[in-house]
Copies of this chain bind each other. A is one copy, B any other.
């Protein structure tokens, strides 16, 4: 007999062995239909698992969040079974549940929509057959025999210890797959699913390996939630910068150049230039000095910084005439070298070096995404080298700058996370200097509290050299991301032997704040596109104003308006095509140009313009000079939207 403790604390005795299914029947018979799996002492198990010792047991039903992953993982197996039905020689790679659904990778011919529809049909049949899903434990050699036709599975087995006890398989009908599980009890429990898309990937993300087809899908426990999700997804996709950014002409990618290496086309490049100049000028006003340092260095530099030991696989490394060089993943050591090229007195601090810095990250192809996760990016980077007594003031000034910049570009939905070290992890992840950690975390926390900003705290998320403040944001799919950070650093000044001379003529170590003020420009543009659904803020719009002629004979006046806008630094466009004004307006709307100017004979006679905004508001008879002054003012003030109200009724 064994004793099982249930979630309500009640204990119940069973004859050993007892399966989850038998427990459900005994304690929760009304939920039998919805029982998916069980949690045994914190581990999720199949309902068919025999229990033989006293345990805490909780039955997971369709209402538990963990159940969704199990459902999706099982749906991925059903997909694999369907693929094998169409392509009996298909080679199975790996399948898994992911945040919004699941995927499975196969070595099969390229996948089109027709195949996806056909696979869904076969999957529906497998579900209707209500096949029992069963687990079996198999000896290592037997496992190799069972998977002899599956080279990817054999590769996984090659990496296991051949003397390990057993390998688990899951079987449904004639189909089986090597898999740790857990899974649903039956394919019949899958009710609402959809295959979403497919794409080519490399086995293990390496282009030297075979190309695979990854099929994505999703599944829910009811049709209604699935339909809601698909609708939400459609709306999200409309805002997805990876689609909208291409459609509006912000960037392209090219197979011959590679993934994660977007080419900014004129519109994207214009927004990046506007942001860069704005940030550079604002930072210069606030006492930053700009540097322009090389994007590569000999490995010697990264050996000092510690990147060679801790981050080498994240860098692009190459050789030149016997030297080992690497593209940089960060700017700090370069600016530290500039600091070290001179002697510094305590009176000269803080030294604030900023750079519009090109950085690189060696990412596997599967990791890359639009302009958010890329292999080459441009960071508004800076390092504030200061005395300990300046740390708080400088940190507060950085926060003030960040808030000013976010407000000016209109990026919202950002929250703050205070990331601390974990003393328990000090051997692996952190510089082992508990006193310095405590002091710098205390300063950071005290400063944060002074601002009144709301923030969360995160243990074990600090940089290896100090605590940091992360700026968090969600992309259009809800995925959380750190857009940039402000980091305290008490360790690298030591490694780079940085110093200043204090009042008593003694050499002291400075503190360093690593910070960005807008993050990486490519990513910021991506978030702006998503947040504004492509309708860029007025001052950041690549094209701000279109001047359109209603009739051909007003072309001269239209050109004059256009020229005068250009003279005032407005990014204007002239549309004198022999088309109808309705077509011209529609085209300008499609391109999300925030301000449309129409001129006809009436405007010529009265020396006015008619203004129209993207939200459909129109104002007629604005005197040309009033209009020009107003637009120039909006631009100079970095207006996010065009408000026509100040122009009167």
Interface residue from B289, B296, B364 paired with A321 (Cβ < 8 Å): B364
A318 interface residue per 8 A CB criterion: yes
- A4-56 residues with Cβ-Cβ distance < 8 A to B are none
| Chain B residues within an 8 Å CB radius of A255 | 300
In the assembled complex, the Cα of A317 lies from the Cα of B316 at a distance in Å of 10
- Kindly state whether residue A304 has any CB partner on chain B within 8 Å: yes
Cα–Cα distance between A254 and B338 once the two chains are bound (Å): 9
Instruction: Write the nearest CB–CB distance from A615 to chain B, whole angstroms.
Output: 28
Is A334 touching B263 in the complex (CB atoms < 8 A)? yes
Q: How many copies does the complex hold?
A: 2
Point out the residue from B202, B292, B337 that lies within 8 Å of A254, measured CB to CB: B337
- Would you call B257 and A272 a contact (CB within 8 A)? no
Across the interface, do A301 and B205 meet the contact criterion of CB distance under 8 Å?
no
Closest chain-B Cβ to A120's Cβ sits at a distance in Å of 32
Q: How far is the CB of A306 from chain B (nearest CB, A)?
A: 13
- Are A256's CB and B298's CB within 8 A? yes
Let me know if A341 is at the binding interface, CB within 8 A: yes
Q: Decide if A291 is an interface residue (CB 8 Å cutoff).
A: yes
Q: Which residues of B contact A325 (CB under 8 A)?
A: 258, 316
Q: Counting CB contacts under 8 A, is A110 at the interface?
A: no
B252 touches A337 (CB 8 A): yes
Number of interface residues of A (CB under 8 A): 59
Q: Per-residue 0/1 for A353-381: is the Cβ within 8 Å of any B Cβ (1 yes, 0 no)? A: 10100100010110000000001100000
Bound Cα distance from A265 to B336, whole angstroms = 11
Would you give the shortest CB distance from A139 to chain B, in whole angstroms? Answer: 34
Q: Is the CB of B341 within 8 A of A265?
A: yes
> Could you tell me if B294 and A257 are in contact, using CB atoms closer than 8 angstroms?
yes
Q: Could you tell me the distance in whole angstroms from the C-beta of A194 to the nearest C-beta in chain B?
A: 31
A264 within 8 Å of B by Cβ? yes
Question: Which of chain B's residues have a CB closer than 8 A to the CB of A362?
Answer: 320-321
* Given A291-B265, A338-B252, A207 and B318 contact (CB-CB distance below 8 Å): no
Tell me the A residues contacting B by CB distance below 8 Å: 202, 205-209, 252, 254-258, 261-266, 268-270, 272-273, 277, 280, 289-298, 300-301, 304, 316-318, 320-323, 325, 327, 334, 337-338, 341, 353, 355, 358, 362, 364-365, 375-376
15 interchain pairs, CB-CB under 8 A = A205-B321, A252-B338, A252-B341, A255-B300, A256-B337, A257-B301, A257-B337, A261-B296, A269-B290, A269-B355, A273-B280, A277-B277, A295-B295, A317-B318, A321-B364
